Structure 1
Amino acid sequence: MKIAVLAPVAWRTPPRHYGPWEQMASNLTEGLVKFGLEVTLFATGDSLTSGKLDAVIGAGYEENRDQDAKVVECLHISNLMEKAGSFDLIHNHYDFLPLTYTGLIETPMITTIHGFSSEKIIPVYQKYNSRGHYVSISDADRHPALEYLKTVYNGIDPAGFEFNAVPEDYLLFFGRIHPDKGTAEAIQIAIQSSKKLIIAGIIQDQGYFNSHVAPFLNGAIEFVGAAGPEQRNQLLKQASALLHPINFEEPFGLSVAEAMICGTPVIAFNRGSMSELIKDQETGFLVTDVEGAVDAVHKLASIHRKNCRDWALSQFSQEKMVKDYISLYHHILAT
């Protein structure tokens, strides 16, 4: 079976720090190769893969700002579509635009929908309902106007995350510095529970950082910037808990699954997919506000970290994700 995996080109695949869609395209590609499939990854030229790499863009448009994102996008997607006949199936991780080619090619396409940037993009998905072969990354992120084959949770390679049974005494915020992600709420949780907080992530909203994060930085509240894979593993496994006080309906939340694979429980606001990722009071706590999160911090001793890892491996491993997708590939090709 010849599979083309279409990754986004905002960042390298896999990303150096941030880039969740690129990360999932990488995890899938590497997993498919392990299962013996012939896989071509369409991504940036500096991407890393054990499969075949096909690229017309040297670097991601977020990493080389001299490029126009729309031009890069068109060159990248059209490169694959003009070669579509060389593959048995295309796996699209690049949102809705590639769908507009499906009426012009014979190769079937499966699309993992990683979330909706706006309700305004739904008409494109609706138009290709009958041939889009849509997969959701959580039950919470399904749109009522769309038809889905299945929910397949994002899968993580556990080799990149070490289990740690004895954490250090700090809380961790790991994610974009943006109001949606709740960095300010994480700071308040740490202050009110008298705990050290480490903040790691890219600054996506500089004004928000300047007004809601920077004034609180001191010995107890530390900002370490974007974290690459090695630093991410260290931060996650050594934390007593990951704080995830989101202010939006998050489709998945990679850092939540990654933390639990390290054995680290997660305290999250119960929005979006959080109730699917976290077993309340077993692998973390689902709360509704800062006060509930502070209360949960004081209950962390009741969580067995081995349970966190076992749960995450059973639901969010690379192997499980790849097996689920291969089953869908056979279903699509058979029909």
Structure 2
Amino acid sequence: MKIALIAHPRFPIRSPFPGGLEAFVSSLIDFYAEHAEVTVYAHPKSDIPSHVKFVTFPFDTLSHEKYPDLIENDFLLKVMEDILKNDFDVIHNNAISPIPAVWSCKYDIPLLTTLHTPPYSRLKASAELTSLSPNVHYNAVSFSVAEQWQPYISDTIDVIYNGIDLSDWYGPRTVKEQLFSFGRIVPSKGFDLAVKASAMVGIPLNIAGPIYDKSHFEKDIAPYIGKGVNYLGHLSHQELQLQLRSARCAIFAVRWDEPFGLSTVEAMASGTPVAAFNRGAFPEVVSRKGGVLASGNNVDSLANAIADSLTLHSDDVLHRAQKFPLSEMCNRYIAKLVEIA
């Protein structure tokens, strides 16, 4: 079987990953290569294993800052043109774009699109139309995402939870009097809320992640650095693991309905309890054993959740993380691709 694996072109598939979507695509590559002939389509700066075919096209980063849709669409049109030339059996699409699904309808290519985000306006209409095609299929990373998308898709949306290699994150805990929050630093991730909540419980907070909104960082986070808050930069997975194993709690104060929250599983797999808002997929992923969800969407409630999470036993937290193994995710995806091919 020949599989075309499409990544969203905005960021490279390269560690340290900018976000969960890039980590998700990376985790599938070797598994697909063991079971099929796979070609990866991704940003030109991606780090793809040498034994896997990698196809890319120029990506003008400066122009992308001004015209993101134009640059991404141009890239994905080139991807689909190349796919048409190479007689693939099936496409696994992870681009947040209508282009792959529309082309699949036109050329009768079996395609599975994984829904990594809540519904965007530009994707709703294309989903309604393309889901009528017998060749186009959709799955979601959580029941929360599936429920949000179902009104726009004329088919059943399967749910395949994201997974991680649990052994990569497990290790001896050397807990210190500190909290941890990590991810892309943008307003939607709520690092400023984590800063305020950690101050309320009186425990220092370490923050890690790439700064994608410099104005937000300088205005809402930088004034607190050195005053109970430390910014550690963009850490590798190994560095993240050490931080998680030494943290009393991992805080995820996102301002949107988190579609899955791969970072929460990484935290739990380290034995670190999670404190987060009760929205999106967090109730599905974290549950009661992996952490504590705030009773309201405000800093006071988040501070209470942090305090309550400190009483959880790391063994219970680890047990919750074991619900999301990478092997199960990969096996379900390859089975789905075989089914629709």
TM-based fold match above 0.5? yes
Deviation readout 1:49-107 (Å, 9 max, x if unpaired): 2652332336x65xx43667534542444334433452211100012221121123232
Q: Which runs of 4+ in 1 moved over 4 A?
A: 66-69
Per the alignment, residue 110 of structure 1 pairs with 112
- Matched residues in 2 for 1:201 and 1:222: separation? 12
Per the alignment, residue 238 of structure 1 pairs with 246
Residues 15 and 81 (structure 1 numbering): CA distance in 2 closer, same or farther, change over 3 Å?
farther
The reply on whether 1:293 has 2:290 as its aligned counterpart is no
Residue pair 2:114, 2:141 contacting (<8 A) in 1 also: yes
Alignment of structure 1 residues 202-281 onto 2, 5 Å: 202-280=210-288
Aligned partner letter, 1:24: F
- Matched residues in 2 for 1:10 and 1:214: separation? 26
Residue pair 1:195, 1:220 contacting (<8 A) in 2 also: yes
Aligned partner letter, 1:5: L
Residues 66 and 296 (structure 1 numbering): CA distance in 2 closer, same or farther, change over 3 Å?
closer
Per the alignment, residue 128 of structure 1 pairs with 130
- Matched residues in 2 for 1:53 and 1:65: separation? 27
Q: Which moved more, 1:305-314 or 1:186-195?
A: 305-314
* 3-state SS of 2:29 partner: helix
* 3-state SS of 2:131 partner: coil
Unaligned segments of structure 2, at least 5 residues: none
- Matched residues in 1 for 2:193 and 2:232: separation? 18
Residue 2 of structure 1 deviates from its aligned partner by 1.8
Per the alignment, residue 309 of structure 1 pairs with 318
Deviation readout 1:160-179 (Å, 9 max, x if unpaired): 32334442221111122222
Residue pair 1:267, 1:285 contacting (<8 A) in 2 also: yes
Per the alignment, residue 192 of structure 2 pairs with 184
Aligned partner letter, 1:317: P
Residue 33 of structure 1 deviates from its aligned partner by 2.7
- Matched residues in 2 for 1:180 and 1:218: separation? 23
Per the alignment, residue 57 of structure 2 pairs with 57
- Matched residues in 1 for 2:15 and 2:81: separation? 24
Match of 1:284 among 291, 294, 297: 291
* 3-state SS of 2:206 partner: strand
* 3-state SS of 1:247 partner: coil
Residue 216 of structure 1 deviates from its aligned partner by 1.2
- Matched residues in 2 for 1:167 and 1:77: separation? 49
- Matched residues in 2 for 1:124 and 1:115: separation? 15
Work out the number of aligned pairs and report it: 327
- Matched residues in 2 for 1:4 and 1:103: separation? 16
- Matched residues in 2 for 1:15 and 1:8: separation? 16
- Matched residues in 1 for 2:50 and 2:157: separation? 28
Residue pair 2:19, 2:184 contacting (<8 A) in 1 also: no
Deviation readout 1:168-196 (Å, 9 max, x if unpaired): 22111112222221111101111111101
TM-score (norm 1): 0.89
Unaligned segments of structure 1, at least 5 residues: none
- Matched residues in 2 for 1:118 and 1:211: separation? 28
Residue pair 1:31, 1:318 contacting (<8 A) in 2 also: no
The reply on whether 1:79 has 2:79 as its aligned counterpart is yes
Residues 296 and 20 (structure 1 numbering): CA distance in 2 closer, same or farther, change over 3 Å?
closer
Per the alignment, residue 89 of structure 1 pairs with 90
Q: Which moved more, 1:185-194 or 1:19-28?
A: 19-28
* 3-state SS of 2:181 partner: strand
Residue 213 of structure 1 deviates from its aligned partner by 1.0
- Matched residues in 2 for 1:230 and 1:66: separation? 33
Structure with the bigger percentage of helix: 2
* 3-state SS of 1:135 partner: strand
The reply on whether 1:40 has 2:39 as its aligned counterpart is yes
Aligned partner letter, 1:222: N
Residue pair 1:102, 1:109 contacting (<8 A) in 2 also: yes
* 3-state SS of 1:296 partner: helix
Residue 16 of structure 1 deviates from its aligned partner by 3.1
Residue 110 of structure 1 deviates from its aligned partner by 0.4
- Matched residues in 2 for 1:114 and 1:32: separation? 19
Residue 221 of structure 1 deviates from its aligned partner by 0.6
Residue pair 2:9, 2:75 contacting (<8 A) in 1 also: no
TM-score (norm 2): 0.87
Aligned partner letter, 1:92: N
- Matched residues in 1 for 2:187 and 2:252: separation? 12
- Matched residues in 1 for 2:285 and 2:275: separation? 11
Match of 2:170 among 140, 149, 162: 162
Deviation readout 1:257-300 (Å, 9 max, x if unpaired): 111111111000001111011122x1100112322332333333
